[in-house]
Amino acid sequence: MTTPPLCKMQRVFPVVLITLLVSTTPLSAQRYNISYTPNSEEGLLLQLIEQLDGPAKVTQMDAFLARYPKHPSVSWIYAFQQDYYTKSNEIDKALEAGAKLCQLNPDDLEAAVNNQKLAEKKGDAALVEKWKGAANSAAQKLIGTQKPFYISQDEWNKRLDYAGGLIADSDYRLFKKATEAERATDKIKLFDELISKNPNSIYAANALAPLMNAHRSVGNNDRALQLAEKLLAKDPDQDEALLMVGQIYLDRRANYGRVQAVANRLLALGRSETVPPGFSAETWQRRRGYYVGAAYMMLGTASVYQNQFAQADASLRNALPYIKGNVQAEGFTYFYLGWSNYYMEKYKEAAAFFRTCLALPGVFQTQARHQLDGMIRERRISQD
């Protein structure tokens, strides 16, 4: 049997690409957990801290902060200390811990509100205004985000309600109603109402990305693309919009130059060493890897679609370190690496990629099996 034609094999791609690029999108945590490498020096110290209580616990935390100021568990420590010093009525120390926590995580609504209350208790009007502004900023950002997977819907609704109470704006209630709507058509109707009602509000600006996604989900790709380009006109680094533009044009097998442009923009974001406002260093590091992996997959797929197999091979190989552990993404990438190497007549490498794909559960397993069987019948490779 000969290898199936390229155009036939491409039909499975659009749904898969959406899943790969959207589902892995990394999320920004609002509260914090302890994390460490087992049996490491910092891990042993953190284990000790977990077992202690009272002043001894805080003393060991201070020692940890002095030795490991950039450790991923630092936010967990500051959150604990803010709470501990608040309960012990050590207001200045609680404020200091909260300030350090917000410096690392500017979107931490709870920390900002706690510091506002501490400032009120202290009677410092200027400090109250500072933390009130920080709380409002964090509340607005919270309202514009999706629910993290690790938070229950009930808890998330409480957070949204609290953030909305801080802002006390009618636009918030409409925005919340739109985000909670189950049907995409209802989301579209409500977001359009919000934008029409007050196009200059923060909520109207925050509505553009979810409105774009809602149009995409019901197949209104022209409108989704229009909104994506509108977002990029305001912010050329808006990641959801960059991904959407690339996805739609790849689905259409069109405008590969634009696909390449948005992919290269994502690569530039992923290579940036500057942590943007609103991101902790740890969150930004994860997100950078996501950008790079998504960009290389876009570039590789666009090259496959244009039968530019050497370029596809290079881009997809570059994607592998960034998608490790995402089984669907790996299956997709290994399959098209096999495909590209087959057409470059590198049959041994092609077979190795197909065999790796075959070991990964997903939609490409059957395709990889067919390719290997075809290569054996064509005597491109041996039975082994």
- The answer to whether 174 and 205 have CB atoms below 8 angstroms apart is no
CA distance 368 to 357: 6
- Within its chain, how far is the Cα of 131 from the centroid? 27
CA distance 353 to 23: 24
| pLDDT reported for residue 22 | 32
Query: Between helices 239-252 and 281-305, what is the axis angle to 10°?
Result: 10
pLDDT at 38 over 60: yes
User: Residue 39's pLDDT band (boundaries 50, 70, 90)?
Assistant: confident
Region 141-146: mean pLDDT is: 76
Q: What is each CA distance from 239 to 227, 231, 232, 279, in whole angstroms? A: 13, 10, 9, 14
CA nearest neighbour of 333 among 383, 288, 299, 306: 299
| pLDDT reported for residue 25 | 28
User: Residue 269's pLDDT band (boundaries 50, 70, 90)?
Assistant: confident
What tokens were used for 27? 């999320």
**Average pLDDT of the chain to the nearest whole number:** 85
User: Residue 19's pLDDT band (boundaries 50, 70, 90)?
Assistant: very low
CA nearest neighbour of 107 among 165, 32, 176, 171: 32
- Rounded to the nearest 5 percent, the helix, strand and coil shares of the chain are 75, 0, 25
CA distance 83 to 103: 17
Q: Which of these ranges, 21-35, 111-125, 135-149, 341-355, has the smallest mean pLDDT?
A: 21-35
**Residue ranges of the chain assigned to CATH 1.25.40.10:** 29-139
- The answer to whether 222 and 254 have CB atoms below 8 angstroms apart is no
Q: Which fold has domain 29-139?
A: 1.25.40
| pLDDT reported for residue 78 | 94
pTM for the model: 0.58
User: Residue 213's pLDDT band (boundaries 50, 70, 90)?
Assistant: very high
- Helix (H) / strand (E) element for 18: namely helix 13-23
What tokens were used for 80? 């604990």
